[in-house]
Amino acid sequence: MELKTFVKNFAEQFDETDAAIFTPETKFREIEEWCSLTVMAIIGMADEVYHVRLTGDEMKASKTIEDVYNCVKSKV
C-alpha cells in the first residue's frame, strides 16, 4: 500500500483544492475545503480503494494525511 498513491487518492476527494498542495505532512483539517462531507468521502475512499473501514473517531485522532494512511495500512 503506497503512501504516494494514498495521498493522491486523498487529494481526489477535494473539488476546489489544488492537488499539488497535498503531501503526507499536510494537516488536512487546515484545508479550507475540509468539512463533514470530506470526512465521509475519505472514509468512503478507504472502503472503496483499500477495503478498510475507517471510523469517525479514527479520523478525529489523525492530524496529517500520513496519520490516516498509517491507520488504513494497519487495517489492510
Partner 1 sequence: MQMFNPYSLDGKTILITGASSGIGKTTAIECSKLGAQVVITGRDRNRLQETYDLLEGAGHLMIAADLTAAEEVEALLTELPQLSGVVNNAGIALPKLFSFTTNEEAEQVFKTNFFSPFELLRGIVKRKKLVKNSSVVFVSSIAGTTITSLGGSVYGASKSALNGLSKALALELAPKRIRVNTVMPGMIETQILADSSIGEADLEADRKRYPLGRYGQPQDVAYAIIYLLSDASSWMTGTNLLLDGGYTLT
The interface region with partner 1, picked from 4-12, 20-28, 52-60, 63-71 by CB under 8 A, is 52-60
- State the Cα–Cα distance between residues 33 and 70, nearest whole angstrom: 23
* Residue with Cβ nearer partner 1 (20 or 37): 37
Residue whose grid cell is 504516494: 4
Work out which of 54, 65, 68, 72 binds partner 1, going by CB under 8 A: 54
- CB-nearer residue toward partner 1: 27 or 53: 53
- Between CA 16 and CA 55 the distance in angstroms is 25
Which of 19, 51, 56, 75 binds partner 1 (CB under 8 A)? It is: 56
Q: Which is nearer to partner 1, 12 or 25 (CB)?
A: 12
Q: Are 21 and 44 in contact (CB under 8 A)?
A: no
- CB neighbours of residue 9 within 10 Å: 20
